[in-house]
Structure 1
Amino acid sequence: MTAALLIDNVTLGYERHPAVHHLSLRIEPGSLVAVMGPNGAGKSTLLKGLAGLLKPLEGRIGGLERQRVAYMPQLAQVDRSFPISVFNMVAMGLWHEIGALGGLNKSQRQRCIDALGAVGLHDFRDRTLDTLSGGQFQRALFARLMLQDASVLLLDEPFAAVDERTTSELTAVLQGWHAAGKTVIAVLHDADLVRRHFDHALLLAREMIAWGAPADALSPANLLRARGLHEAFDDKAPLCDAPQHLHNHAPAVEVAP
């Protein structure tokens, strides 16, 4: 039985300057959540905190202690120059099964082939990463996520720099994960897409502006307020105080490669 993800008065930041400010939220297992907000609003920082890559300055993150978490960073943060085939990159999703030195058995190889087929890359498995377009590379990253067998999936701008067809097909993959009971949290910029396909939306501008059904959370008034509050924040502002009982770090979280 997976637990709810609890974000308890969490502040995340760098060099003691907050990027996400006193956020409290409960995300039920199996939720399909979009995180939206202006550029620089703390969306990527929040995902890093949930992935266990960034410890909270204040508060705590709970509910992930016994769950496998898979994190997909922004496309621009991934090095595509490494000389590796598409198949071998996707096969890294089985790291939790084979380890650093293990080889693939026949069943595992077939699972890799099936994952590539599911994202339309069956004929690309022997190509190197640097030969792929942005959309093709994003499909390969989705195939790797399929193999990670994570109950919580964190995706940072998964549809950036991809065409409408790829966005539609990868959105269907997200919905398949959701239907399978996985918790999916994705940073997105397309409010119309979120309203059509997501159950919940978090509107963030360093602090929570709105949370709930996308039609309500992403109202024109809330989006306007998010832009205004974001502009008013000072990157050099001191960290504000929080109750002493909330000064806990996030628990260790296993993040698949």
Structure 2
Amino acid sequence: MPIHVQNLTVSYRHHPAIHHINLQFEQAQSYAIFGPNGAGKSTLLKALMGLVKTDTGKVTFENLKRADIAYLPQQSEVDRTQPMTVFELAAMGLWYEIGFFGRVTAAQKQRVQAALERVNLGGVAQKNIGALSNGQFQRVLFARMLVQKAQFLLLDEPFNAVDAATTSALLDVLQECLQQGKTVIAVLHDYEQVRANFANTVMIAREVIACGATTDVLTEKNLQTAFATLQQTGLSNQWCQTTPTTAVEK
């Protein structure tokens, strides 16, 4: 059940953030999206989810439904001022099953509680999310993702602003997901973290520099090419011709 990315370009104010991207993400694999700051990593992830308008190309989900794809945004994109408990936020992973107004069954409540237990938050289910530390809040977002039971997990900077212990614990969660046959696609900026935990890497600098096995992609040559490419494309607003087309297909 792969995700196909074909000729994908996304622009902000007529300047491409990612440029004619062609990729394929296979099931039961781990992928790090890696590159310099401003390379378009988060934009690529949002394009996969259909959260940004595309200028060219399309994303095709082969034999996948929207419920099969879970998205974990950066913490800064989640409103933590809402009067919501830890349990209620984690239970939002049930949205594709029950919608906005559906009732949570006893079995689903047990599933939410089990997800919270898995991220070591079972004892604070009724705590308000506004009282959580960054690490605790990130654990809740992981719990919400687990509750969804998606096959593809898309994570945007999942370990940003959390401590080393939380990062290690959440990396263990992702390894378990891989063992269950899920696919993990994560935007990351830590070189050693990628090398130690992700089998595949997509290196981008608004365009694809290299993709494949992490040991082959994370090379000094590719890193130099990525930085040079980003610097070159940043000098001009006329480096890519785009024609608006479609976005996401099932």
Q: Tell me the TM-score range normalised by the shorter chain.
A: over 0.9
Any idea what SS the aligned residue of 2:38 has? coil
2:154 touches 2:186 (CA, 8 Å); kept in 1?
yes
Query: How many residues matched?
Result: 248
1:202 equivalent in structure 2: 202
- When normalised by structure 2's length, the TM-score is 0.93
Q: In the alignment, which residue of structure 2 is the partner of 1:30? A: 28
Structure 1 residue 234: Cα displacement: 2.7
| Separation in 1, partners of 2:135, 2:185 | 20
State the partner residue of 2:230.
230
SS of residue in 2 equivalent to 1:186: strand
Counterpart of 2:72 in structure 1: which amino acid? M
TM-score (norm. length: structure 1): 0.91
Q: 1:176 aligns to what?
A: 176
Partner of 1:88: 88
**CA contact under 8 A between 2:61 and 2:249: conserved in structure 1?**
no
Partners of 1:76 and 1:160 in 2: CA distance: 10
Compute the displacement of 1:79 (Å): 0.9
Q: Distance in 1 between matches of 2:214 and 2:87?
A: 37
Aligned twin of 1:105: 105
How many Å apart are 1:239 and its aligned residue?
A: 6.4
Cα RMSD for the two superposed structures? 1.8
Q: Runs (4+) of structure 1 moved beyond 3 Å?
A: none
The match for 1:186 is 186
Residue type at the aligned position of 2:26:
E
TM-superposition CA deviations, 1:55-74 (whole Å, max 9, x none):
32111211257332211111
Q: Partner amino acid for 1:12?
A: V
5 Å matches for 1:153-168?
153-168=153-168
Deviations 1:40-90 (A, max 9, x none): 110010001000112321112112573322111111111111111001111
- What amino acid maps onto 2:51 in structure 1? L
Q: Distance in 2 between matches of 1:241 and 1:157?
A: 30
Distance 1:136 1:36 in 2: 25
Partners of 1:195 and 1:27 lie apart in 2 by 18
Determine if the alignment matches structure 1 residue 135 to structure 2 residue 132.
no
CA–CA distance in structure 2, aligned partners of residues 134 and 64 of structure 1 = 35
Q: Map residues 33-112 of structure 1 onto 2, 5 A cutoff.
A: 33-63=31-61, 66-67=64-65, 68-112=68-112
- Secondary structure, counterpart of 1:123 in structure 2: helix
AA in 2 matched with 1:19: A
Structure 1: runs of 5+ lacking an equivalent = none
Distance (whole Å) between structure 2 residues aligned to residue 217 and residue 162 of structure 1:
26
Q: Answer yes or no: is the 8 Å Cα contact 1:30–1:182 preserved in 2.
A: yes
Answer yes or no: is the 8 Å Cα contact 1:12–1:58 preserved in 2: yes
**How far apart in 1 are the matches of 2:236 and 2:52?**
19
Distance 1:46 1:234 in 2: 18
Residue 247 of structure 2 corresponds to which residue in structure 1? 250
Q: Percent identity?
A: 45
Offset, 1:229: 1.7
CA–CA separation in structure 2 for the residues paired with 1:231 and 1:137 = 35
Indicate the residue corresponding to 1:116 in structure 2.
Answer: 116
1:65–1:251 contact (8 Å) kept in structure 2: no
Q: Does structure 1 retain, via aligned residues, the 8 Å contact 2:201–2:212?
A: yes
